[in-house]
Structure 1
């Protein structure tokens, strides 16, 4: 039987590009998102054999729904070889606005807790089998905080730390935890950004590089590599200089502006 990949947020952007890439390599797909009809239509339009894919409807902000999607996959398709926690949101916030605190909580529910809820059903089965990949999609934005982008930056920093913790816990089990930190990828999440996006990458190009990184079992990879260099420089930049560089930078759209 061909290998199986489980992907959340599979109805668009990075998730869909990863699904297409794995499908071309003959993998079976377990596709998870709220918009199940769109995923079904996409798989059919691509001409994928019906036995190659299954669709599971879930909002990963709902812990039980995310866990149930994983359990259904185990029951219908077996233990995946790769699980990719890709679902995520990105909205600007203003801490002075009360409604934006709810936006921040929702962002963490999807971008951090949703990652753990996605992984949860598969940890023990993978450990018992002795191999597997748990992949968390983080972001270069998790390296430093950007004005107006506090919810997203903080959630992605948390996702990086969470995956690092899990990697240590699973060391020696045969299960690898891989963290991928994309730079700017041309997806619906970035389409309305009102600031420059250096090294903007197409989703299919990202997917090609991501699949290779996952197969290698690398612990953390920034894609594209140019953003990896930028991330390392930003990490060591003195706060005073970092703050000066951001003067006048447009803020991320708030939820009321989307």
Structure 2
């Protein structure tokens, strides 16, 4: 285990691409050590080498967040090899359109909640007790602005991200007495494989690096809840207070998220 005076450690799931990779780059530039998790650890390793990262400052762990034993095992391996992270970011997630009238899409609903919700809880699990005993640490849940209101064809994703918000709020109340912070981040539209090909406009679209910079600052500030960017936070608040008939008319004819295989 690393000495107490070692640089701080951040643990990030879904770190092989998109937001997770951008967060890893931002934390590395700030002098942190990295514990990076993805289903394909070889991709993380290749990326870290391509970036010229010091080998002593990063480690890659192979795990699928849907596999509770696997992701819990990755967390325990991190504790044994690198020590207790100062920040754990549960970033891994999926976004697939669903049509409840289609039988095969019920499997997509299950897959989405397993990944976005059970996977998030399993990511946090290995670190909750050690952080509570040390009376330090921050757990970060990556939700989405899609948690604010349900969007046609996007029920599984919207529902799962709304659950992330509520779950993290519950966890925040549980861990506050133990000195552990819980941060909930709600990205707007970020240019990643999850959003490319969306058949609708994506206002205030950010690059992963732009999101990572603002997320880094929000986590450092200990924000309990933050919509990024702030412009999307304004839009989200307006959408939340719209009466249902107005909201429904506003979304009439809006393109639906592509289903699996489309």
Q: Which of 114, 139, 142 pairs up with 2:147?
A: 142
Aligned partner of 1:102 in structure 2 is 107
| Alpha-carbon distance in structure 2 between the residues aligned to 1:242 and 1:168 | 32
- SS state of the match for residue 111, structure 1? helix
Aligned partner of 2:93 in structure 1 is 88
Shift of 1:116: 0.4
What do residues 43-82 of structure 1 show as CA deviations (whole Å, max 9, x unaligned)?
A: 0000001110000000001111110010000000000000
Aligned partner of 2:173 in structure 1 is 168
Shift of 1:35: 1.4
| Alpha-carbon distance in structure 2 between the residues aligned to 1:192 and 1:33 | 23
| Alpha-carbon distance in structure 2 between the residues aligned to 1:107 and 1:7 | 19
Aligned partner of 2:250 in structure 1 is 245
Aligned partner of 2:32 in structure 1 is 27
What do residues 203-254 of structure 1 show as CA deviations (whole Å, max 9, x unaligned)?
A: 1011011011001111100000001011111111100000000111010000
| Alpha-carbon distance in structure 2 between the residues aligned to 1:63 and 1:154 | 21
| Alpha-carbon distance in structure 1 between the residues aligned to 2:179 and 2:163 | 24
Aligned partner of 2:79 in structure 1 is 74
- SS state of the match for residue 177, structure 2? coil
Q: Which of 207, 210, 217 pairs up with 1:212?
A: 217
List alignment gaps of at least 5 residues for structure 2.
1-5
Aligned partner of 1:221 in structure 2 is 226
| Alpha-carbon distance in structure 1 between the residues aligned to 2:234 and 2:70 | 38
| Alpha-carbon distance in structure 1 between the residues aligned to 2:101 and 2:225 | 34
Runs of 4+ in 1 over 6 A off after TM superposition: none
| Alpha-carbon distance in structure 1 between the residues aligned to 2:88 and 2:260 | 30
Shift of 1:172: 2.1
Asked if 1:37 corresponds to 2:22, the answer is no
Aligned partner of 1:47 in structure 2 is 52
List alignment gaps of at least 5 residues for structure 1.
none
Asked if 1:62 corresponds to 2:67, the answer is yes
| Alpha-carbon distance in structure 2 between the residues aligned to 1:35 and 1:198 | 32
| Alpha-carbon distance in structure 1 between the residues aligned to 2:111 and 2:182 | 24
| Alpha-carbon distance in structure 1 between the residues aligned to 2:49 and 2:131 | 30
| Alpha-carbon distance in structure 1 between the residues aligned to 2:173 and 2:152 | 32
